[in-house]
């Protein structure tokens, strides 16, 4: 069967339009990013439920918080690099501290903007958002899961940050699959040698790597940790008990993201070998998203090579003991 490709931002916009047609309280808000979020159809069909704030992310978030007082459900759509940096005080105070029903949608996250360089790369959003109490963080892996996430958060009462990419990504789930349960990781591959915990758009690369590893005799468990906060601690601890090592994979800085969250759980409850695969703590170069992911070893080949080395080290340590 031919692999399907679709951008998560497009799946989000189509789902939001469908939901908003049946709920006049849903409002889409953007910061001069209607085209980037692919909300053109939404704005044309539901102009009274669409607000363009211009390049003013702080005002965007504060205004959205105010709208919740009147029963509206605002979806704040903006490039993740700006939403998570420029408006972080408003996210902290107006959204999280005030527990307003705002849905923050960070578009073109990670290195989606590629050639635009570090100013447009969003590699700190997990770290910043994780440190803010009362704020859930979700990173769907493909269009199918994005649709499910959008439906769930529209009905959820409370603040949420959802991280989406920009470019078409391969399909992990078949349409109609029950692929999202709040705070519960999804096991995509079975294995007891090592566990790969991935989030967002690198999940597909982790699944592909697991297939390649099996050909080498390494059985890798793959967990789609779509919810960064609240993290599925039990899935992490079970992996630590049942496999020899854990490798985390994310399109984020090596500091403070999924790897940091997993390390916090393991360090306090179940120490085990851990390798964090992420973007190095350096000024990121320019290039296409695929080039940058390959550069940092976050493609299937890089993950396979890393896991192979970790599995051998874990097996050697176990044999020595």
The CA-atom distances, in angstroms, between 308 and each of 146, 164, 225, 274 are: 31, 29, 21, 13
Residues 6+ apart with CB under 8 A from 258: 126, 197, 198, 199, 225, 228, 248, 249, 250, 252, 278
Question: 5-170 has which CATH code?
Answer: 3.40.50.970
Domain with CATH 3.40.50.970 in the chain: 5-170
Give the model's pLDDT for residue 287. Answer: 93
Give the model's pLDDT for residue 320. Answer: 38
Inter-residue contact 113 to 81 (CB < 8 Å) = yes
Please give the average per-residue pLDDT across 107-123, as a whole number: 91
Residues 18-56 pLDDT 10s: 999 999 999 999 998 887 778 999 999 999 999 999 999
- Pick the closest to residue 165 from 250, 259, 284 (CA basis): 250
Residues 134-179 pLDDT 10s: 999 999 999 999 999 999 999 999 999 999 999 999 999 999 999 9
**pTM score:** 0.95
Residues 93-104 pLDDT 10s: 999 999 999 999
Strand residue runs (E) in 134-273:
136-138, 160-163, 169-170, 186-189, 194-198, 220-224, 227-229, 246-253
Peptide linkage before 230 cis (omega within 30 of 0): yes
Residues 6+ apart with CB under 8 A from 320: none
List the catalytic residues. 57
User: What is the pLDDT of the chain when averaged over all its residues?
Assistant: 94
Structure tokens of 276?
A: 């964090």
- The tokens 């700006």 sit on which residue? 82
Q: CATH says 186-320 is which class? A: alpha beta
Q: Is the pLDDT assigned to residue 1 strictly greater than 50?
A: no
- The SS3 assignment for 121 reads coil
The model's confidence at residue 321, banded by pLDDT at 50, 70 and 90, is: very low
Inter-residue contact 39 to 89 (CB < 8 Å) = no
Domain with CATH 3.40.50.920 in the chain: 186-320
């Amino acid at each position: 069967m031919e692999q399907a490709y679709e951008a998560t931002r497009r799946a989000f916009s189509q789902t939001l339009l469908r939901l908003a047609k049946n709920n006049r309280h849903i409002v889409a808000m953007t910061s001069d990013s209607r085209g980037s979020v692919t909300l053109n159809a939404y704005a044309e069909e539901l102009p009274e439920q669409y607000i363009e704030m211009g390049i003013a992310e702080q005002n965007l978030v504060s205004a959205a918080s105010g709208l919740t007082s009147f029963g509206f459900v605002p979806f704040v759509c903006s490039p993740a690099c700006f939403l998570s940096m420029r408006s972080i005080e408003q996210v902290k105070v107006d959204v999280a501290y005030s527990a307003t029903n705002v849905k923050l949608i960070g578009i073109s996250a990670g290195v989606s903007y590629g050639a635009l360089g570090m100013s447009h790369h969003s590699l700190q959003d997990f770290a910043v958002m994780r440190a803010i109490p009362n704020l859930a963080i979700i990173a769907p892996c493909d269009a199918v899961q994005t649709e499910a996430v959008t439906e769930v958060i529209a009905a959820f009462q409370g603040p949420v940050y959802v991280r989406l990419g920009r470019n078409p990504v391969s399909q992990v789930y078949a349409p109609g699959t029950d692929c999202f349960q709040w705070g519960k990781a999804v096991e995509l591959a079975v294995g007891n040698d090592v566990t790969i915990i991935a989030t967002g758009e690198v999940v597909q690369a982790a699944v592909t790597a697991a297939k390649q590893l099996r050909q080498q005799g390494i059985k890798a468990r793959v967990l789609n940790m779509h919810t960064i906060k609240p993290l599925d601690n039990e899935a992490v601890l079970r992996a630590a008990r049942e496999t020899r090592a854990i490798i985390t994979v994310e399109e984020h800085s090596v500091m403070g993201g999924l790897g940091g969250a997993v390390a916090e759980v393991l360090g306090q409850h179940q120490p085990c070998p851990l390798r964090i695969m992420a973007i190095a703590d350096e000024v990121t170069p320019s290039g296409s998203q695929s080039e940058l992911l390959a550069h940092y070893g976050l493609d299937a080949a890089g993950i396979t090579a890393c896991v192979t080395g970790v599995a051998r080290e874990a097996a050697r340590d176990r044999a020595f003991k």
